[in-house]
Amino acid sequence: MGSEAVLSVFTSHGVANIVCDEPMQRHTTWRIGGPADYFVVPASLDELRGTVLAARHLGLPITVIGRGSNALVLDGGIRGVVVKLHDAFAKVEIEGTAIIAMAGRSYVSAANIALRHGLAGLEFATGIPGSVGGAVMMNAGAYGKETCEVLEWADVMNADGEIERLQNADLKFGYRYSILKDRFGIVTQAKFALSPGDRDALVKQVKQWSQKRVESQPLSWPNCGSVFRNPEGTHAGRLIEAAGLKGFQHGGAKISDKHANFIVNVEEATAADVLWLIRHAQQVVRDQYGIELETEVRVLGEPISGR
């Protein structure tokens, strides 16, 4: 089916904000990625539902992104439909000592709103550069805390376009895992159960963490956050640094001089450059320490040779 016919199906389902062959490098924090066949930024819950139903009618897969962190889009791009939840899904409400945030909201922003209201529990999220929806899906965490510790429920759109409210236990959280990594579901909003806190003390803690990030992470270069999961009992960055790979560069991608669990885009890197570095780091650490590094980053799409 040609693109005009495909767009006609989406239009018939009430989808207006759709473009063809959208470069994904515009939508990832790594600034890397080939084109999405069809790219939708829903302006409402109804338009998101229409997107899901139109894609199902056409037999097209759906990939959902938020802020584009923790994702490596391969150079051949993404087949099917990419849905970006952005400004129309950014509303935040305070409900007593809880915060309800829509999935497209920056996790950092949601955490800062909680801080301003003197609510404790989300401080760790002030250092996670993703969306609320992405944080729920991957059980994002930092500073020894995880999303699952404060999440009460998440509203999730299924393949029929219906909203299901999944409680914390339904999501079957694990380390950087929820059941949404294994089944289709689009988080639309989530409720976080927090507690009253000392606003000044919370802000002081967050400022300390922020200063530590500035000193230890390569925030001035495009990156996706941590690339590898921390093996039990140690840290991926320490292993990579001990293996002598800190500052190692391949093509336009480089293992950061500041933090070895970050790969930065320093010279118009391709996804192939990043993948090569990932595999090289895995091989060297495996050979030297007998430890298998597992990636935390989501690899999406296909290489150029696959198009």
Which residues participate in catalysis according to the annotation?
176, 226, 296
Both tokens of 176, joined, read 């950087």
d(CA 85, CA 133): 9
Both tokens of 88, joined, read 């129309």
d(CA 191, CA 238): 35
CA angle 87, 90, 92 (to 5 degrees): 155
Q: What are phi and psi of 51, to 5 degrees?
A: -65, -45
